[in-house]
Amino acid sequence: MTLPRRQLLLSALAAPALLSAPSLHAQNTPEQEPARPHGAIQRFFVGDIEVIALWDGFAQLPNAFITGFDQASALRAANAAYRRFDAESSNVSINGYIIRTAGKTIAVDTGAPAAMGPTVARWSDSLGMAGLSFSDIDTVFLTHMHGDHVGGLISPTAAATVPHADLIAAQAEWDFTFDDGIYAALPEQFRANFDFARLAVSPYKSRFNGISMERETEIATGVQALPLPGHTPGHMGLRVHQGTDQLLIWGDAIHFAAYQFMQPDWGVLFDSDANQAITTRRNLLEEAAADRLRVAGMHLDFPAVGYVENAGGNYRYIPSSMDMQI
């Protein structure tokens, strides 16, 4: 079966449906099997709090997913960011983070499921590269419950991979994910994403701690959950802080790192509230630039930690240098 390229890419995002179907790479002969990326990590510190960025891989997403997209502006943004430009699609990194504070190890998102394609699902490899295993994780914090953030929560047989971990996310996100009315109204192509999210978080139901979107909530020493609604109703970030040192993990405030710093009003088709997502993104960018904040995000280019500068009325991303500490 040959799918048009666009349809193939749409299928890849909606991918979790492929869990019950032959996977994309299973259709290839061994000679055609594309090289799979290795995991990657980047370790840094916020005061004494250890943070490790874990690379899950990347997804090739159609530019048609971007609301407001125009090719001339995209090319300009990609050039300004020294990024390769393709008129049809863009490579989007998928990242998770580990935070180690006060004897606790917190996983922040867990990457995409293997069924999403051959270039993702390296999260557990990266965890191993960091010298950690599933049993070291005390808490999983989810910025939200889209499929590309919950992949590491379950095995190929849908068993919990971190059965003793508490799961923390916004209660509003859990309610949104399991709302049958919202599900029924979804375009067909986005349903598989919800199907997989439901499958992945369900084994953790008895250990789920749903937190409020009305206020910031301390989830561990020096770690505050921060409501960032728009991309989904329960989308949250984290502020990690010790003394004057701070890190803002902004979840999916940015999806297309090549463009959205210069075009912060561009969103993605799967933002549940497009205007609110833009407001949230602009507020974060403005705060990060004004306060010289270190930022991290689930779709920033790996190693996915850096800074934001004001640039001609918009913004520019400055990747962080390696944090040389032991």
**Which residues sit at the interface with Zn ion, rule CB under 5 A?**
148, 252
**Residue 173 vs 252, nearer CB to Zn ion:** 252
Q: How far is the CB of 149 from Zn ion (least distance, A)?
A: 6
Give me 247's structure tokens.
């890190």
Q: Is 319 helix (H, G, I), strand (E, B) or coil?
A: strand
Nearer to Zn ion, 75 or 182 (CB): 182
Contact (Cβ atoms closer than 8 angstroms) between residue 238 and residue 226? yes
**CA nearest neighbour of 202 among 252, 237, 164, 167:** 167
What is the distance between the alpha carbons of residues 90 and 34, in angstroms, rounded to a whole number?
18
125 or 252: CB nearest Zn ion: 252
To the nearest whole angstrom, how small is the minimum distance from the Cβ of residue 146 to Zn ion?
A: 5
Residue (146 or 294) nearer to Zn ion, CB: 146
Task: Give the E-state strand segments of 13-165 in sequence order.
Answer: 40-46, 49-62, 66-67, 89-101, 104-108, 139-141
Contact 68, 266 (CB under 8 A): yes
Half-sphere exposure of 5 (CA within 13 A, CB side): 7
* Residue number, 58 or 315, with CB nearest to Zn ion: 58
- d(CA 16, CA 196) in angstroms, rounded, equals 5
Q: How far is the CB of 192 from Zn ion (least distance, A)?
A: 14
Q: CB of residue 101 vs Zn ion: minimum separation in angstroms?
A: 24
C-beta closer to Zn ion: residue 49 or 94: 94
Closest CA to 89 of 74, 76, 77: 74
Shortest gap between Cβ of 244 and Zn ion (angstroms)? 30
Rounded to an integer, what distance in angstroms lies between the CA atom of residue 147 and that of residue 198? 9
Give the shortest CB-235-to-Zn ion separation in angstroms. Answer: 10
Distances (CA, A) of 260 to 41, 57, 68, 253, 257: 24, 20, 11, 9, 6
Q: How far is the CB of 27 from Zn ion (least distance, A)?
A: 25
> Measured from the CB atom, is 49 or 254 closer to Zn ion?
254
